[in-house]
Structure 1
Amino acid sequence: MRMKTYRIRRPKVVVIGGGTGLPVILNSLRNESVDITAVVTVADDGGSSGEIRNSISMAPPGDLRNVLVAMSDMPKLYSDIFQYRFKKEDNFLANHALGNLIIAAIAEMRGSTYDAVQLLSKMMHVDGHVYPSSDTPLVLHAVFKDGTEAVGESKIALDRKTIDHVFVRSQNPEEEPKAARKVVSAILEADMIVLGPGSLFTSILPNLMISEIGEAVRKTQAETVYICNIMTQKGETEHFTDANHVQVLHEHLKEPFIDTVLVNTERVPEGYMDFEIYDEYLVQVKHDFKALRNEGCRVVSTDFLKLRDKGVFHDGDKVVEELLTILYGAKS
């Protein structure tokens, strides 16, 4: 008699964001038995990504490049080549990451950043899915409390004004920002949505401000988890508590949608951080657990801190351990 075998479905986890925090979580999460989808911001307009998006009108490749590497099982030599950044003395190629140029070349060949990332995902043996939040570059706008406005992700923090809200527009003003293929269905079919860690106004919210994505995040039955930043950021979250971060997210989507917040409670040692290298950071985010609970959130507060290279980061393994506890608790 033949025994029947049943394939147990891996839980579906969608991680939304950008910047340097997202790859840390993905790198740890890919070692677990989960079906990962990364939704990556396309509002970056600075550095190599900004130059490329302005030259050939494509979604900026930098955050996508870092996510592809984080989810790939390529040998280290290959990923080092993909991540190689030309020296600033190299004139025409100065400061460009080789991977950005490769993504740009394939996007031009295929006529789509989305298609380029799918092809590279196969070439780089990515276990999971990587989607740009939109297939076209988006322009981030910030409206400040004094009524003035900044246009462009790289411009928002310069004047260090208090941000009231942000929104996105297509680079072509006649087009409405649209979610890339499969992004909305991935969110609606997920068991868990993870936001962050990353810059609140410039890495996380640009994704949610695409109306289709914001609506999907509001509608999804998935457990929605926000990983709160460890440090405040110049021109973005100065003087913010952890509850202020969540309040801003809820205000932008016009309803409470965060189920659980992960908060680091470990102190950064005095004098450890090199603020010349990490010049966008200010002080540790303060805690307001009562206000968090008033936002309808469950709070998980513990040591998520990792100190490395005179900088402050989330410990990906510790965060993922907590995410899995929440995920399997929610499914049981």
Structure 2
Amino acid sequence: MNSAVLLRRAALVGILGIILFFTGLALSYRLLLLPVITAFDNAFTNLLGSFLNAADLPVGRHYAGGALLILGGYLVYRAIRNVLREVMRILNPGQEGKIAGNFWKQQALAAGPSIVAIGGGTGLSTLLRGLKEKTSRITAVVTVTDDGGSSGRLVADKKILPPGDIRNCLVALADAEKSMTDLFQHRFEGASGSLSGHSTGNLLIAALVDLTGDFDKAVREVGRVLAIRGRVIPATLDPVCLKAEMEDGTEIYGETKIVNSQQRIRRIFLEPPDTGPVPKALDAIRGADVVVIGPGSIYTSVIPPLLVPGVAEALNESPAIKVYVCNVMTQPGESDRFSASDHVRAIESNVGRRVFDYVLINKAMPGQFLSERYSESGQEFVAPDPDRIRAMGLKPISANLISETDVVRHDPMRIAESIERLVK
């Protein structure tokens, strides 16, 4: 039950309580309260009579009563505010001065659209940073095929699902203090022994899996610690590996080996192919207002969760607005020389069916310096070709989606605003 419903219920209970209170007051007024009020009125009238003549006494009583009402109301307000501030200080240190602002912001976010975001890697976490400013009704369905770095080591050593992409999504949705999110993203480097390369967040998730015996429960616990706006769900809770069929017919197993091969990918598969979906992820897709797929590495982040049995079917059944956010730059070995329509074609050919209706395309060119630097590493701007996308029976939406610093990437707020306009 969301907070808006709970507040309405609390308000109705409060109104009923006030009615009962004043009904009881009226019933006992003559017997218990009238003598007390009469005595107080006489004492107060005698006090005012010391300063006012008889003609001015009624007016004086009126002004004095009004002043006491205002003073009493102000004292009640101050008392309630101080109690709430102290509760806020205890529950959320550092936020005690923002009670009203936080309250109304949370109510506005809770009234936002229900959005499911599907993908992985940095693309999904970038998307979530923007979406959480528009709604708190977010479900991130995250790929779990990463087998490199800290995640790969934990998969091998602890036999758990890779926590890296999950961690990034949790941090992206976090409403906790920056120091807390920085702690989760801290990576041990240099002379850290066996900890070298591990991030604190990955280790914490692994520790919680040990404590709870359940990866999904461990993710929920971390979400509570970080006070995330929404929830993060693995695409599957089964151990799964990526298998790629390359253009030359060879097969490569494992995400890291696939990416490092630098060969052109023909098709991507899950191994085993009959991995089980997470029921609440399917329910979220079916009940969503909007489903956003991508952005991210087309073969290793975007397509894998769509291959989990039941996910594509749930997308077809869902009445939600379904939109694919296309990448802004190509990736060597995955999407060399891909245009926007090539990305769409890769998804549809691998999934075997249409799973979205809209394609959000970046139309802004990056600056010359960054374009040249990316070109040196074999990457180029993803050419927007809305006419080809339209010819495929889809609805292209072109917008300036990039943020340029030392890299070219999606701007979280620009994506979120484009999706918000689509909903409205």
Q: What TM-score results when the alignment is normalised by the length of structure 1?
A: 0.91
Over 3 Å counting, the alpha-carbon distance change for 1:98 and 1:274 in structure 2 is farther
CA distance in 2: counterparts of 1:32 and 1:117, whole angstroms: 23
Q: Contact between 1:227 and 1:263, CA under 8 Å: does it hold in 2? A: yes
Over 3 Å counting, the alpha-carbon distance change for 1:281 and 1:261 in structure 2 is farther
- Give the equivalent residue in structure 1 for 2:390: 293
Give the 5 Å matches for 1:105-120. Answer: 105-120=207-222
1:230 aligns with 2:332: no
Over 3 Å counting, the alpha-carbon distance change for 1:144 and 1:151 in structure 2 is same
- Give the equivalent residue in structure 2 for 1:43: 145
Letter in 1 for 2:314: A
Q: Contact between 1:86 and 1:97, CA under 8 Å: does it hold in 2? A: yes
CA distance in 1: counterparts of 2:198 and 2:136, whole angstroms: 33
Match of 1:139 among 223, 229, 241: 241
Over 3 Å counting, the alpha-carbon distance change for 1:9 and 1:80 in structure 2 is closer
Over 3 Å counting, the alpha-carbon distance change for 1:197 and 1:281 in structure 2 is farther
Q: Deviations over 1:161-211 (max 9, x none)?
A: 2211111124xxxx9311124111111111111011100000011101111
Q: Contact between 1:274 and 1:311, CA under 8 Å: does it hold in 2? A: no
Letter in 2 for 1:41: T
1:199 aligns with 2:301: no
- Give the equivalent residue in structure 2 for 1:62: 164
Match of 1:219 among 313, 317, 320: 317
Letter in 2 for 1:314: H
- Give the equivalent residue in structure 1 for 2:369: 271
Q: Alignment RMSD, CA only?
A: 2.2
State the shift of 1:91 in Å.
2.3
Over 3 Å counting, the alpha-carbon distance change for 1:260 and 1:118 in structure 2 is same
Give the 5 Å matches for 1:141-220. Answer: 141-170=243-272, 176-220=274-318
> How many correspondences in the alignment?
320
Q: Deviations over 1:258-288 (max 9, x none)?
A: 2111111111111226959x99761011222
Which range moves more in the overlay, 49-58 or 210-219? 210-219
- Give the equivalent residue in structure 2 for 1:80: 182
Q: Give the share of equivalent positions with the same residue, in percent.
A: 34
CA distance in 1: counterparts of 2:393 and 2:322, whole angstroms: 12
Match of 2:408 among 291, 303, 312: 312
Letter in 2 for 1:248: A
CA distance in 2: counterparts of 1:51 and 1:29, whole angstroms: 31
Which range moves more in the overlay, 131-140 or 231-240? 131-140
CA distance in 2: counterparts of 1:22 and 1:255, whole angstroms: 22
Match of 2:225 among 123, 130, 134: 123
State the shift of 1:23 in Å.
1.4
Q: Contact between 2:119 and 2:293, CA under 8 Å: does it hold in 1? A: yes
State the shift of 1:255 in Å.
2.3
SS at 2:227 equivalent: coil
SS at 1:211 equivalent: coil
Match of 1:13 among 112, 115, 140: 115
State the shift of 1:89 in Å.
2.9
Q: Deviations over 1:99-156 (max 9, x none)?
A: 0000011012111211100111112111211101111331011111221111001111
CA distance in 2: counterparts of 1:73 and 1:136, whole angstroms: 29
1:255 aligns with 2:382: no
Match of 2:205 among 84, 99, 103: 103
Name the larger-Rg structure. Answer: 2
CA distance in 1: counterparts of 2:378 and 2:221, whole angstroms: 36
- Give the equivalent residue in structure 2 for 1:324: 420
Letter in 2 for 1:270: Q
Gaps of 5+ in 2: 1-7, 13-106
Letter in 1 for 2:359: V
SS at 1:282 equivalent: coil
Q: Contact between 1:233 and 1:280, CA under 8 Å: does it hold in 2? A: no
Match of 2:337 among 221, 239, 261: 239
- Give the equivalent residue in structure 2 for 1:89: 191
Gaps of 5+ in 1: none
Runs of 4+ with >3 A deviation: 3-10, 273-276, 278-281
Q: Contact between 1:44 and 1:50, CA under 8 Å: does it hold in 2? A: yes
